């Protein structure tokens, strides 16, 4: 190996003005892009840039391939949507490093990105203005019982909840099951927001309540935010509603 | 009012290559900067840019002032470190909007930023690779009993924990109290990281365990990460240790 390196790079939610300058530089200096097809496709083609786009759910194979390319002397960028550390490629890359001592020869760094949670929160006002949890609803890599246990704990702590990966074609019912579970633990009037494809042309916000939340409106591109007991709606310009989790909490305690 | 507007702008953790292009444009078009002294100081001076820098802990007053300036026709940027939605100015601004119907005339938007949590996670590898909670340890605006209740809930859910505002001169003992509380709930060997001033010249990472975690090493500029029961250290290049919360969880369940 000579000069090879591996950077795990966060592309943010999509638009160019949500890509960090550090990520832009890392992409510009890469010889090889490795990642899930739609993320690799976001990076413009240029001479000398090799593209290794793979399907979803092959993260471990992809991470090993990235290290192998770096060991051959390539400057590899593993691209991830949002922030690579949040339910994305950084963990798969560090897992690959853990499994193969030879990969320790590779200089590794993680270039952060804007996570979907922060992008959605910006559009909604301040839903994450107080303590919050992020939970992936996918049970591909953890038992569903763990998801339910964490939703219960988040409700007991009265955290605001950000639900990642709420649904997919293979898992269409879990967001409905999660809402049913949360309805047993939290007030029906709790504010809920569906933030779909934030920052992309098909962006769509849907404001509702836990009692009224319709799972049919949730897809793979949606981030679901569920308020705490103190989260509320605030009226703004032209009747626009903002979602607020106030900085103060439990004044009566 | 004519042409006035209010943008709550996230400056990220500090370095220019962690400032989103959208934030850079918003700052360049502002006529007035409003914010806590060190954040306002980060934005370069230029002709025509008025600066309204105020002390910490006057967030509500600052937010009202920003709306008042916007009502006078100014293009106001309220600047926040990190992401403005995470324990920062977005909530104070939406609270001010809630309290004063006249402020509804002002076009409002939130420009997200890189949160300290994601910056710290990038330096550490993948500590947030699985479900996590963010908790502010400050009891300025919530009772300490709520902090303890949330730490308990986070431990019951076996979430990774990101602790914001772990200490200040006025609150030197709370991080020690939080560690003591967590030691009753989680294994002493749980990986813990102190990520101080990430992205700035005085950045410093300290890797330890819950049993060994020394509160004296934690200050206001530190983000504290506490692992789940499955978080572990992984050795990388030159003996560097990475913090990994694996994507899989509870395989034995």
* Joined tokens for residue B157: 């859910």
Residue B21 has its nearest CB partner, among A16, A146, A250, at: A16
What gap in Å lies between CA B29 and CA B208, rounded to an integer?
A: 44
Tens digit of pLDDT for each residue in B98-149?
Answer: 999 999 999 999 999 999 999 999 999 999 999 999 999 998 899 999 999 9
Mean pLDDT of A75-87: 97
CA distances from B42 to A113, A205, B5, B16, B221 (A): 21, 33, 21, 10, 16
Residue A111 has its nearest CB partner, among B59, B84, B122, at: B122
Asked if A222 contacts A204 with a C-beta cutoff of 8 angstroms, the reply is no
CB contact under 8 A, B129 and A247: no
> Strands B75-80 and B5-10: what pairing?
parallel
Tens digit of pLDDT for each residue in A89-108?
Answer: 999 999 999 999 999 999 99
CB contacts < 8 Å between A and B, how many?
Answer: 259
CB contact under 8 A, A118 and B83: yes
* Gap from B139 CA to chain A (nearest CA, Å): 9
Tell me which residue of B135, B213, B124 sits closest to A93, measured CA to CA.
Answer: B124
- pLDDT score recorded for residue B252: 56
> In chain A, which residues have their Cβ closer than 8 Å to the Cβ of B158?
149-150
Contacts (Cβ under 8 Å, ≥6 apart) of B192: B207, B208, B209, B210, B212, B213, B224, B225, B226, B227
Q: Per residue of chain B (253 residues), what is the pLDDT tens digit?
A: 568 999 999 999 999 999 999 999 999 999 999 999 999 999 999 999 999 999 888 999 999 999 999 999 999 999 999 999 999 999 999 999 999 999 999 999 999 999 999 999 999 999 999 999 999 999 889 999 999 999 999 999 999 999 999 998 888 899 999 999 999 999 999 999 999 999 999 999 999 999 999 999 999 999 999 999 999 999 999 999 999 999 999 875 5
Reported as a pLDDT band with limits 50, 70 and 90, residue A224 is very high
> Strands B191-196 and A75-80: what pairing?
unpaired
CA distances from B73 to B17, B34, B41, B65 (A): 31, 15, 23, 13
Residue A247 has pLDDT above 80, yes or no: yes
Residue recorded with tokens 């038992």: A143
Q: What is the mean pLDDT of chain A?
A: 96
CB contact under 8 A, A98 and B156: no
CB contact under 8 A, A142 and B248: yes
What gap in Å lies between CA B20 and CA A163, rounded to an integer?
A: 24
Residue B85 has its nearest CB partner, among A21, A93, A118, at: A118
The pTM of the full predicted model, rounded to 2 decimals, is: 0.97
What gap in Å lies between CA B121 and CA A83, rounded to an integer?
A: 10
* A76-110 core/surface letters (b: 16 or more CB in 10 A; e: else): bbbbbbbbbbbbbbbbbbbbbbbeeeebbebbbeb
* Gap from B240 CA to chain A (nearest CA, Å): 9
Contacts (Cβ under 8 Å, ≥6 apart) of A73: A1, A2, A3, A4
* Joined tokens for residue B62: 């600052």
Tell me which residue of A82, A85, A79, A110 sits closest to A18, measured CA to CA.
Answer: A82
The alpha carbon of residue B232 and the mean position of all alpha carbons in its chain are separated, in whole angstroms, by: 24
CB contact under 8 A, A121 and B110: yes
CB contact under 8 A, B108 and A143: no
Tell me which residue of A115, A136, A234 sits closest to B98, measured CA to CA.
Answer: A234
Is this complex's ipTM strictly greater than 0.95?
A: yes
Closest chain A residue to the Cα of B198, Cα to Cα: A112
Give me the percent of chain A exceeding a pLDDT of 70.
98
Asked if A20 contacts A111 with a C-beta cutoff of 8 angstroms, the reply is yes
SS3 state at B234? strand
Asked if B64 contacts B100 with a C-beta cutoff of 8 angstroms, the reply is yes
The alpha carbon of residue B178 and the mean position of all alpha carbons in its chain are separated, in whole angstroms, by: 18
- pLDDT score recorded for residue B168: 87
- pLDDT score recorded for residue A168: 86
Q: Walk across the sheet containing B75-80 and list its strands.
A: B50-54, B32-36, B75-80, B5-10, B108-111
- pLDDT score recorded for residue B57: 81
Reported as a pLDDT band with limits 50, 70 and 90, residue A56 is confident
When scoring B90, B115, B135, B238 by the number of chain A Cβ atoms within 10 A, the one with the most, hence best to mutate, is: B90
What gap in Å lies between CA A136 and CA A129, rounded to an integer?
A: 20
Reported as a pLDDT band with limits 50, 70 and 90, residue A169 is confident
- pLDDT score recorded for residue A170: 86
CB contact under 8 A, B112 and A247: no
Rounded to 5 degrees, φ, ψ at B168 are -150, 175
- pLDDT score recorded for residue A59: 94
CB contact under 8 A, B248 and A141: yes
For the beta carbon of residue A252, count every other beta carbon within 10 angstroms: 4
Closest chain A residue to the Cα of B26, Cα to Cα: A17
């Amino acid at each position: 190996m000579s000069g090879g390196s591996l950077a795990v790079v966060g592309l943010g939610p999509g638009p160019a003005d949500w890509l960090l300058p550090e990520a832009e530089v890392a992409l510009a200096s890469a010889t090889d892009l490795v990642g899930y097809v739609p993320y690799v496709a976001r990076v413009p083609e240029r001479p000398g840039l090799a593209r290794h786009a793979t399907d979803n759910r092959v993260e471990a194979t992809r991470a090993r391939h990235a290290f192998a390319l770096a060991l051959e002397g390539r400057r590899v960028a593993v691209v991830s949507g949002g922030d690579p550390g949040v339910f994305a490629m950084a963990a798969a890359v560090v897992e690959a490093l853990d499994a193969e001592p030879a990969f320790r020869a590779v200089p590794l760094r993680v270039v952060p990105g804007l996570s979907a949670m922060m992008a959605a929160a910006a559009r909604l006002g301040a839903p994450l203005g107080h303590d919050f949890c992020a939970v992936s609803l996918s049970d591909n890599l953890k038992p569903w019982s763990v998801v339910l246990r964490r939703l219960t704990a988040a409700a007991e702590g009265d955290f605001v909840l950000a639900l990642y990966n709420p649904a997919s074609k293979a898992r269409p019912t879990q967001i409905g099951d999660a809402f049913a579970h949360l309805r047993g633990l939290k007030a029906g009037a709790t504010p809920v927001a569906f933030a779909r494809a934030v920052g992309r042309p098909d962006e769509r916000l849907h404001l509702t309540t836990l009692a009224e939340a319709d799972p049919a409106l949730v897809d793979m591109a949606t981030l679901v935010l569920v308020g705490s007991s103190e989260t509320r709606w605030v009226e703004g310009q032209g009747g626009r509603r903002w979602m607020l989790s106030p900085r103060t909490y439990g004044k009566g305690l």
